[in-house]
Structure 1
Amino acid sequence: MTEKFQAVIVGSDISAYAFARELNDAYGIKPIIFSRFTQTVLIDSQIVTTYQADTSTDEKTIEELLFLGSRLKKEDPAQKLFLLANSDNLIVLLAHHRKDLEKYFIVPVPELDAIEKVADKESFDELATSVGMKVPGSFYVSFDKMTKEELMTQLPSADFVYPLIAKPANSSAYDLLRLNHGFKKVYVLDNESQLLQLWNDLFEAGFDDKFIVQKFVQGAETALYSITTYVDSKGDVTLLSSAHVLLQEHQPATLGIPCSMITTSYPMLFEQVQRFFAELKKQGFTYFGFANFDVKRDEETGEFYFFEVNPRIGRNHFYITGAGANPMEFLVSDIIENDPKKRVIASKKVLYTIIPKRLLLRYIDNPTMRKEIKALYRDGNVINPTLNENDKSLKRVIYQYLAMLKQIKKFRTFYPKLTKSGF
Structure 2
Amino acid sequence: MKNQKVDFTPVLLGSDFNAYGMARSLYEIYRRPVKAYAQTQLAPTRFTKIVDLELIPGFSEDPVWINTMKKLKQRYADHEEPVILIGCGDGYAELIAKHKAELEDVFVCPYIDYDLLKKLNDKENFYKMCDQYDLPYPKTKIISKAMYESGDDIEQPFGYPVALKPANSVEWLDIHFEGRKKAFIIKSEAEFKSVVAKSYDNGYTSDFILQDFIPGDDSNMRTLNVYVDRHHKVKLMCLGHPLLEDPAPAAIGNYVAIIPEFDQDIYNRVQTFLEEINFHGYANFDIKYDTRDNSYKLFEINLRTGRSSFFVTLNGHHLADWVVQDYVFDSLNDKPTLYANKDQSQYFLWLGVTPQIFEKYAKDNDSKRQAIQMISEGRYGDTFWYAKDKNIKRFALYKWMMHNYAKSFKRYFVEK
TM bracket (short chain): over 0.9
Q: What is the alpha-carbon distance in structure 1 between the residues aligned to residue 317 and residue 147 of structure 2?
A: 50
The answer to whether the aligner puts 1:66 opposite 2:70 as a matched pair is yes
Aligned to 2:401, the other structure's residue is in SS state helix
Note the 1:318-333 alignment, pairs <5 A.
318-333=310-325
The answer to whether the aligner puts 1:48 opposite 2:46 as a matched pair is no
Identity of aligned residues (%): 25
Q: Which residue of 2 aligns with 1:118?
A: 120
* One-letter amino acid of the counterpart of residue 419, structure 1: E
User: When the two structures are superposed, what TM-score results if normalisation uses the length of structure 1?
Assistant: 0.91
Note the 1:19-38 alignment, pairs <5 A.
19-38=22-41
Note the 1:339-378 alignment, pairs <5 A.
339-340=331-332, 342=335, 343-347=337-341, 348-378=346-376
Q: Which residue of 1 aligns with 2:240?
A: 243
Given candidates 213, 234, 252, the residue that maps to 1:216 is 213
TM-aligned CA distance change 1:36 to 1:302, over 3 Å: same
Q: Which residue of 1 aligns with 2:415?
A: 419
Q: What is the alpha-carbon distance in structure 1 between the residues aligned to residue 144 and residue 179 of structure 2?
A: 21
Q: Deviations over 1:190-217 (max 9, x none)?
A: 1222111122112211211111100011
Aligned to 1:262, the other structure's residue is in SS state strand
Q: Which residue of 2 aligns with 1:150?
A: 150
Q: What is the alpha-carbon distance in structure 1 between the residues aligned to residue 88 and residue 144 of structure 2?
A: 26
Q: Deviations over 1:113-143 (max 9, x none)?
A: 1112222222222222332221110000222
Superposed displacement of residue 86, structure 1: 2.4
Q: Deviations over 1:332-386 (max 9, x none)?
A: 0111123325211221422110101111111134253332122111222102111
Q: What is the alpha-carbon distance in structure 2 between the residues aligned to residue 209 and residue 369 of structure 1?
A: 38
Moved more, 120-129 or 180-189: 180-189
Q: What is the alpha-carbon distance in structure 2 between the residues aligned to residue 109 and residue 373 of structure 1?
A: 35
Q: What is the alpha-carbon distance in structure 1 between the residues aligned to residue 277 and residue 16 of structure 2?
A: 31
Q: What is the alpha-carbon distance in structure 1 between the residues aligned to residue 141 and residue 90 of structure 2?
A: 22
Q: What is the alpha-carbon distance in structure 1 between the residues aligned to residue 76 and residue 196 of structure 2?
A: 47
Q: What is the alpha-carbon distance in structure 2 between the residues aligned to residue 238 and residue 228 of structure 1?
A: 11
Quick check: 1:119–1:311 contact (8 Å CA) kept in 2?
A: yes
Superposed displacement of residue 151, structure 1: 5.4
Unaligned runs of 5+ in 1: 282-286
Quick check: 2:10–2:86 contact (8 Å CA) kept in 1?
A: yes
Q: Which residue of 2 aligns with 1:406?
A: 404
Q: Which residue of 1 aligns with 2:18?
A: 15
TM-aligned CA distance change 1:151 to 1:206, over 3 Å: farther
Q: Deviations over 1:10-56 (max 9, x none)?
A: 11011110011011112222111211332222222111212122235
Q: Which residue of 2 aligns with 1:306?
A: 298
Q: Which residue of 2 aligns with 1:284?
A: none
User: When the two structures are superposed, what TM-score results if normalisation uses the length of structure 2?
Assistant: 0.93
* One-letter amino acid of the counterpart of residue 45, structure 2: L
Superposed displacement of residue 162, structure 1: 0.7
* One-letter amino acid of the counterpart of residue 83, structure 2: L
Aligned to 1:297, the other structure's residue is in SS state strand
Q: Which residue of 2 aligns with 1:135?
A: 137
Q: Which residue of 1 aligns with 2:260?
A: 263
The answer to whether the aligner puts 1:169 opposite 2:167 as a matched pair is yes
Q: What is the alpha-carbon distance in structure 1 between the residues aligned to residue 391 and residue 196 of structure 2?
A: 49
Q: What is the alpha-carbon distance in structure 1 between the residues aligned to residue 57 and residue 104 of structure 2?
A: 20
Quick check: 1:152–1:196 contact (8 Å CA) kept in 2?
A: no
Q: What is the alpha-carbon distance in structure 1 between the residues aligned to residue 152 and residue 388 of structure 2?
A: 56
Q: What is the alpha-carbon distance in structure 2 between the residues aligned to residue 89 and residue 49 of structure 1?
A: 21
Given candidates 288, 308, 327, the residue that maps to 1:296 is 288
Q: What is the alpha-carbon distance in structure 1 between the residues aligned to residue 25 and residue 51 of structure 2?
A: 11
Q: What is the alpha-carbon distance in structure 2 between the residues aligned to residue 181 and residue 197 of structure 1?
A: 11
Q: Deviations over 1:255-304 (max 9, x none)?
A: 111011101111110011012113323xxxxx221111111111343221
Quick check: 1:131–1:279 contact (8 Å CA) kept in 2?
A: no
Superposed displacement of residue 316, structure 1: 0.9
Quick check: 2:175–2:199 contact (8 Å CA) kept in 1?
A: no
Quick check: 2:148–2:154 contact (8 Å CA) kept in 1?
A: no
Q: What is the alpha-carbon distance in structure 2 between the residues aligned to residue 13 and residue 365 of structure 1?
A: 28
TM-aligned CA distance change 1:119 to 1:265, over 3 Å: same
* One-letter amino acid of the counterpart of residue 289, structure 1: G
Moved more, 403-412 or 340-349: 340-349
Structure 1 stretches (4+) deviating beyond 6 angstroms? none
Q: Which residue of 2 aligns with 1:278?
A: 275
How many residues are aligned here? 406
